[in-house]
Structure 1
């Protein structure tokens, strides 16, 4: 989509449903909305100006850490420097100070806010702080609603589902409408082991995986998966769940089991897991990309590929036609052929 250059410490990121707008939670507690732009687009915000500390925009300059203008300077020999620190202007900035106040004495605000979730839908951003869910819209706090217990996680649906936010609190899952009104509440110890996909909320309860309707909380289906584990992942019309070292793949709409494998990613690698008709793909703890087959097709590893990335920590995975792709916390992306016995980087 594009890039956005920001010179302040951010401790949280959420994307809107179409991925065209992003929301950052700054260490100061503010929330900003940004529209990444293509560096090759002369009409983008990258050349239009930047924001100063008082929220005003400057034209043709950039912002330094102290809020003063930091114009590009030439080297001593008169040539341009190799790197020019460019700072882009956000679409808007919302201060949460009047709602959340200042950090308690002896606490570190950055560490506190790193543990506070952020999510986004088509209406704006949602932030959790203590027992509050706060909606930030167009530069202002639109509302703040208290839920039962501290907010442990926030999730919004994609472009295929309704706006609103799902909240994981201490002993319950709560769904809020875009205006902050409560849609439904369900007693649950699911914690953060849930995911929102379109119009469904997928969560674990005991040995079962459940699908709930996002709007009314009605149970769409329930399937036994033999134990707890990390949150499920969704790839198209398939849901993948890992329990006790076994990968189970279910039909998203009915919960019907499709296939399983005795090889599965560890809990800290499950975010990279994506599944196809009879194969699953993930990055293991050694930093290798792994393809596993279903038990019906012989099971075991179909292939393993050592990845030459700076980090072995994946943050996402997806299937792209005949390739599988992984994103890493360093911003690196890797694409591999899905079916070759000796797959290579594309």
Structure 2
């Protein structure tokens, strides 16, 4: 009995000592991050399409209350995320942008895909009806697909007028408006997709990129001045109407987010604006790059299931986490498929550099 009592006393003393240590020495990561839960402010550049997500009070409260994080994000094009000294993270909008970053940075920064968004086209009901009559677009299971994407590109290359599609009210030639591919991820993603289509629907390689440089450059040169942010382009699309932007390139989440943020315009938007899913399309991943230990804290926090749910239901971002399902029925926008199929890969970063170089000197 005395022996057992002695052991019990020893265990109690050790427990008290260990507890006292952790009360006086807050647990911190071995890499030097602030202790988990200790309030810190993290800063970094973010693709414009994710700014509203980070500013969402529900997301901000979870990050602050559950993880001790306050995020100060600066809107920046994915290809303009430079000068990162002193920043905790960078959050571009594609794997290609990530690979380009990694070529410049050799510090071994941790990164992980947090969300996914397919690249889509936005258009108007009258334009979509005309594209359907021209057998370029089909409605399948409630969603609209550009089933003859190459045919639409051919019309643009040949300078076909809108009136040839029965849209005499629209001025000039058929076009697809996009952001500047040398600064914005959505423009860059479309540039890669376009080059693939011009390469007979095959992914462009270093060996054959020269064959598509000319037509790719010509396509973008015809667009004139291009916006530097997908968020700015979408805002113009909605506010300026069909006459200014008949078709634009964007992310699937943008209309979902806009409708939820502007419920007073929802009925009109649902009547007039259509999401078109190109066949094929490309995925725009949203990889977060953690540049500091506290940036790693944010990366981990954004995988929180509640934040992932809010990102889909209130901002339209499909989860990048395995096992999390995104149900379109919970959204306020119709015409969004459960799964994104008919997707092709983007060209390698070395190929994209050549394409962007050609477009940038247009």
TM interval, shorter chain, is: under 0.3
Q: Give the TM-score normalised by the residue count of structure 2.
A: 0.21
- In terms of fraction of residues, the more helix-rich structure is 2
Greater C-alpha radius of gyration: 2
Of structures 1 and 2, the one scoring higher in RCO (CA 8 A, sep 6+) is: 2
Q: Give the TM-score normalised by the residue count of structure 1.
A: 0.22
